[in-house]
Amino acid sequence: MNARPLRKITNEEISTMNRDGAVLLKGMLSQEWTDKLTEGLEYTRNNPDGMSLGIDAPLRIDQFPSTHSPGLKEIIDDSPIAEIIGSILNRFYMDQMFYKPAGLIPWSPWHQDTCYYNVEGHDLIRAWICADPTPRDASIEVLRGSHLWNVTYRPPVGMDPAQDPEGAAALEKAFADGEVLIGRDAHEKWTYFDSFLDPSLPELPDIEGARDSFDILGWDYEPGDVLLFHGHIVHSARGGVTLPHARRSHASLWAGPDVHYLRRRSQSIPDPLPLYDYNPMDGQLLSELPDVFPEAWAPG
């Protein structure tokens, strides 16, 4: 299948991405790639692993699905996504599936992605693609420009120290002792609830309660489009609407030159499995670990 996008990303789209922190690229992927995406997502849904959350629930989330779904691996390795991202950034970090069956579509709450991962840097971009037409009411919304806010918010997941002070104290100690809070074994069995709701991070404002006070961007999405958004941007996926078909999305995270490892107390998603062999140091660039994060695409 052709690894080239249907068209080139324009300079205006790159400027919009840099200014707003998100851009919807219309008509980038051929029908063959959308079919491959559907196949890959259905495979993931039918083959859950220890990190699958909400099997048969209205919101199913899988982590690193391309490590076991052949179709999604093709999407990461061979589809135009690498070139689209590569014209801006060039290392694949990880991917996720968000599967919402037909019927009442649940919300994915407002959050930033950076606080979930043991990485830091400005050159972090998410590519969100969907196998189904998705009206704005069920698709991603972002707070325009929030990728430039110099704040990391508390993720809306994890063990709350107010509920379990002893458990929290043990995690605080482990962190102070230099441990990675979510270990290698998480790749066998793990959910968001195994992470730590870091009390030192500020809570997100009540965005839904005061929508008019925020500059919110959203889009109607058609299969073949590629939504790019910055890893640090505040975003959510809307819900509460009824769709006659499923809303099956795949989000991959890509890193550029300044992205480095940073052990976080708020880590809510395991490190990529091969990274556990390297014991990376805080500040170590991902580009210094080319066996784990090879260049995904280069011009020419």
Ligand X SMILES: O=C(O)CCC(=O)C(=O)O
* Residue 32 structure tokens: 């063959």
* Binding of ligand X by 113 (CB under 6 A): yes
Report the DSSP beta bridge partners of residue 142: 217, 235
Contacts of 290 (CB under 8 A, 6+ apart): none
* Binding of ligand X by 141 (CB under 6 A): no
Which residue among 237, 243, 259, 286 contacts ligand X (CB under 6 A)? 237
* Binding of ligand X by 128 (CB under 6 A): yes
Q: Are 30 and 106 in contact (CB under 8 A)?
A: no
Give the Cα separation of 148 and 146 in Å (integer): 5
* CB 246, min distance to ligand X, A: 12
* CB 234, min distance to ligand X, A: 11
Residue recorded with tokens 């968001």: 192
CB-neighbour burial class of residue 84 (10 A; exposed 0-12, middle 13-18, buried 19+)? buried
State the DSSP code for 199: T
* CB 77, min distance to ligand X, A: 20
Which residue lies nearer to ligand X by CB, 63 or 249?
Answer: 249
Which residue lies nearer to ligand X by CB, 33 or 98?
Answer: 98
Task: Collapse the DSSP code of 294 into the 3-class scheme (helix H, G, I; strand E, B; otherwise coil) and give the result.
Answer: coil
Which residue among 126, 230, 260, 264 contacts ligand X (CB under 6 A)? 126
State the DSSP code for 209: G
* Binding of ligand X by 62 (CB under 6 A): no
Which residue among 227, 251, 269, 275 contacts ligand X (CB under 6 A)? 251
* Binding of ligand X by 196 (CB under 6 A): no
Which residue lies nearer to ligand X by CB, 91 or 235?
Answer: 235
Going from the C-alpha of 167 to that of each of 68, 184, 189, the distances in angstroms are 33, 20, 19
* CB 182, min distance to ligand X, A: 18
* Binding of ligand X by 17 (CB under 6 A): no
Q: Dihedrals φ, ψ of 136, to 5°?
A: -50, -35
* CB 285, min distance to ligand X, A: 23
Say how many residues touch ligand X, by CB under 6 A.
9
Contacts of 297 (CB under 8 A, 6+ apart): 82, 83, 85, 86, 90
* CB 109, min distance to ligand X, A: 8
Q: Dihedrals φ, ψ of 93, to 5°?
A: -100, -60
* Binding of ligand X by 98 (CB under 6 A): yes
* Binding-site ranges for ligand X (CB under 6 A): 98, 108, 113, 126, 128, 235, 237, 249, 251
